[in-house]
């Protein structure tokens, strides 16, 4: 009896120590070489979608510290202003998160909040119109915002929400800003996808999931669309000095899982596992920061990255004819061509 209890206690303790070690040692995020330089982004303007939360917010913080003018494209002005206020305060107070790219001697950039709802083509157009009037340059566009496994909903324009926000909203945004990116070249586009693209497929006959809705499939499809979009865009941008790359951040503790219901009983276990195994937003954002700012990837385009290294893609994500067809259909869906 006593022996069993002691054994159980030891096992539990060992487990806890192992989890903690896993948490602090091996979460796999490499610090971006070169990006540690303070002032690396001085004079550059960066637009980040969904910059008020999770990965977008951590990316905004890092690029701000490296001296960039960071435009936060967010759907909720109040949430975005609150996040911007906290980021400015963190910067002033010497910030938690111990970012090695920090510029200790001031010289940090500035934050600008702008309303952008990717679930509304009208909002995307209005946002771009204003941005093109006000900003003389755009050096980096980071397509980061995303929705994950929401219940079936449609965007203002009747698109399935995940495909509409994660792919189509960003598709229109990028196309409307391409002229400015080209005139600011060398410039970069960074697309945040996910490893879950593997379970997707572009089913052209039901892009709005009107026949049947599977929320996991639709998320994966939207993230596959992000990769196909990147590859087709890279092809179209050859010779322009505008590069576009796509990444997966790993599994990161953010607000992305807001639509996933975890039973109350399981919650403590889930929290423990996510604390031990998931990346923090700062860790998860490293590949985005790397692609947005590191001199190492100057001129690199059309590639897929994880943990600041290039990775292989499955054939479904490299199919050029599917990428072209998706591009053509997306142009019609967002009204760029009739």
Ligand X SMILES: NC(=O)c1ccc[n+]([C@@H]2O[C@H](COP(=O)([O-])OP(=O)(O)OC[C@H]3O[C@@H](n4cnc5c(N)ncnc54)[C@H](OP(=O)(O)O)[C@@H]3O)[C@@H](O)[C@H]2O)c1
Active centre residues (catalytic) = 219
Nearer to ligand X, 103 or 170 (CB): 170
Query: Binds 310, which of ligand NAG, ligand X, none (CB < 5 to 8 A, cut-off by type)?
Result: none
Under the criterion CB under 6 A, does residue 220 sit at the interface with ligand NAG?
Answer: yes
CA distance 208 to 220: 14
CA distance 276 to 290: 24
Query: Binds 302, which of ligand NAG, ligand X, none (CB < 5 to 8 A, cut-off by type)?
Result: none
CA distance 261 to 311: 32
Nearer to ligand X, 15 or 257 (CB): 257
Positions in the binding site for ligand X (CB under 6 A): 49-50, 52-56, 74-76, 79, 116-119, 144-148, 165, 192, 194, 248-249, 251-252, 254-256
Least Cβ distance, residue 30 to ligand X (angstroms): 17
Q: Which residue is nearest to ligand X (CB)?
A: 54
Region for 196 from its dihedrals, namely left if φ exceeds 0, alpha if ψ lies in -120 to 50, beta otherwise: alpha
Under the criterion CB under 6 A, does residue 194 sit at the interface with ligand NAG?
Answer: no
Under the criterion CB under 6 A, does residue 217 sit at the interface with ligand NAG?
Answer: yes
Q: Name the DSSP class of 130.
A: H
Spatial contact of 323 and 231, defined as CB atoms under 8 Å apart: yes
Residues 272-311 as x/- pattern, contact with ligand NAG by CB under 6 A:
----------------------------------------
Under the criterion CB under 6 A, does residue 193 sit at the interface with ligand NAG?
Answer: no
Per 3-state DSSP, the chain is made up of helix, strand and coil in percentages (nearest 5) of 50, 10, 40
DSSP 76-122: -HHHHHHHHHHHHHHHHTT-TT--TT--TTS---EEEEEE--TT-HH
Q: Which of 323, 155, 145, 156 is nearest to 234 (CA)?
A: 323
Under the criterion CB under 6 A, does residue 152 sit at the interface with ligand NAG?
Answer: no
List residues near ligand NAG by CB under 6 A.
Answer: 199, 214, 216-217, 220
């Amino acid at each position: 009896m006593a022996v069993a209890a002691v054994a159980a206690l030891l096992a539990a303790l060992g487990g806890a120590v192992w989890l903690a070690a896993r948490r602090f040692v091996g979460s796999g995020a490499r610090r971006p070489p070169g990006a540690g330089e303070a002032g690396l982004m001085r004079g550059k303007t960066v637009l980040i979608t969904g910059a008020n939360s999770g990965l977008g917010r951590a990316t905004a913080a890092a690029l701000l510290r490296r001296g960039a003018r960071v435009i936060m494209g967010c759907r909720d002005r109040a949430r975005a202003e609150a996040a911007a206020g906290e980021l400015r305060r963190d910067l002033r107070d010497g910030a938690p998160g111990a970012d090695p790219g920090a510029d200790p001697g001031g010289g940090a950039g500035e934050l600008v909040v702008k309303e952008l709802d990717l679930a509304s083509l009208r909002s995307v157009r209005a946002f771009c119109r204003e941005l093109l009037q006000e900003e003389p340059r755009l050096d980096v566009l980071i397509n980061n915002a995303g929705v994950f496994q929401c219940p079936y909903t449609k965007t203002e324009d009747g698109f399935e929400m995940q495909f509409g926000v994660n792919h189509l909203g960003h598709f229109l945004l990028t196309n409307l800003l391409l002229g400015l990116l080209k005139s600011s070249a060398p410039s970069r586009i960074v697309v945040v996808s996910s490893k879950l693209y593997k379970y997707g497929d572009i089913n052209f006959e039901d892009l709005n999931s009107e026949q049947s809705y599977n929320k996991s499939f639709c998320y994966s499809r939207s993230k596959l669309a992000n990769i196909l979009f990147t590859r087709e865009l890279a092809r179209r941008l050859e010779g322009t000095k505008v590069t576009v790359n796509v990444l997966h951040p790993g599994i990161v503790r953010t607000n992305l899982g807001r639509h996933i219901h975890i039973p109350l009983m399981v919650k403590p276990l889930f929290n423990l596992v996510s604390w031990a195994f998931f990346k923090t937003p700062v860790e998860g954002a490293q590949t985005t920061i790397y692609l947005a700012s590191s001199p190492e990837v100057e001129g690199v385009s059309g590639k897929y990255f994880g943990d600041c290294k290039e990775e292989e893609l499955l054939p479904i994500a490299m199919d050029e004819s599917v990428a072209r067809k998706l591009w053509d259909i997306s142009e019609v869906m967002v009204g760029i061509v009739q």
